[in-house]
A and B are shown apart, each in its own frame.
Chain A
Amino acid sequence: QQQVKQSPQSLIVQKGGISIINCAYENTAFDYFPWYQQFPGKGPALLIAIRPDVSEKKEGRFTISFNKSAKQFSLHIMDSQPGDSATYFCAGVDSGGGADGLTFGKGTHLIIQP
């Protein structure tokens, strides 16, 4: 599987601040880039996703920025809240090449301090 590199591994942000998580991918066949949020003891849940034909997607406090030429994308969480404390995974999908599911990054453990 092609790798998706995610950083930072862990992140501490004050309540009300902006959390930023970055990902870089290698497989240029990826055509769908979801972000998953995982709480302890739970499975990952889809948070927000983007296709490479747009450079930005916003849903509430969550924004994905996408740079196709650099093969990078990032998640921004505005006005971060303690309830946002979780592990976040970026992923890439090659939906047209018979590839399997998702290729996940290794995750970012986010802590929002009250």
Chain B
Amino acid sequence: EAGVVQSPRYKIIEKKQPVAFWCNPISGHNTLYWYRQNLGQGPELLIRYENEEAVDDSQLPKDRFSAERLKGVDSTLKIQPAELGDSAVYLCASSLVGSSPLHFGNGTRLTVT
């Protein structure tokens, strides 16, 4: 099966600019997650979707971050405006049900200058 696909792989932007990341989960996976991984750290959850519904966004900095999962398939994570501290790898993951193993994409490495 095709894995979780993320794009772009790399993104370099200046601070205060907007940026968007895209994720296509494994076909049939109804649960989608966005994680942020800082250098040398474990991934930290930003938001979890069950189909189209965001069921946990408590860790999402809502002043500048937004996400959507239209039609319960692909998802987009946006940052506007970006700050220097947003530099990290943004990982998307999907699973069949909330507690089954997560399958991760290879992430988008964001550098904010």
Contact = CB atoms under 8 A, between A and B. Distances in A.
A106 interface: yes
B40 A101 contact: no
Interface residue SS majority, chain B: loop
Interface stretch (A44-52, A64-72, A73-81): A44-52
Which bucket holds chain A's interface residue count?
Answer: 20 to 34
Interface in B32-69: 33, 35, 40-45, 48, 55-56, 58-59
Contacts of B42: 6, 89, 91, 104-107
A104 B43 contact: yes
Contact of A102 (B58, B59, B102, B103): B102
Nearest to A94: B99
Given A1-B45, A101-B45, A101-B93, A41 B102 contact: no
Interface string A28-68: 00001010000001111110010000000000000000000
B99 A100 contact: no
B59 to A, nearest CB: 8
A6 B42 CA distance: 10
Interface residues of B, number: 25
Contacts, number: 61
Given A1-B45, A101-B33, A44 B104 contact: yes
A42 B56 contact: no
Interface in A3-47: 6, 32, 34, 41-46
A41 B107 CA distance: 8
B56 A100 contact: yes
Interface of B: 4, 33, 35, 40-45, 48, 55-56, 58-59, 91, 93, 98-99, 101-107
Given A44-B104, A102-B43, 10 more contacts: A1-B44, A6-B42, A41-B106, A43-B91, A45-B104, A89-B43, A95-B98, A96-B99, A101-B93, A101-B98
6 contacts: A49-B101, A89-B43, A93-B99, A102-B43, A104-B42, A104-B43
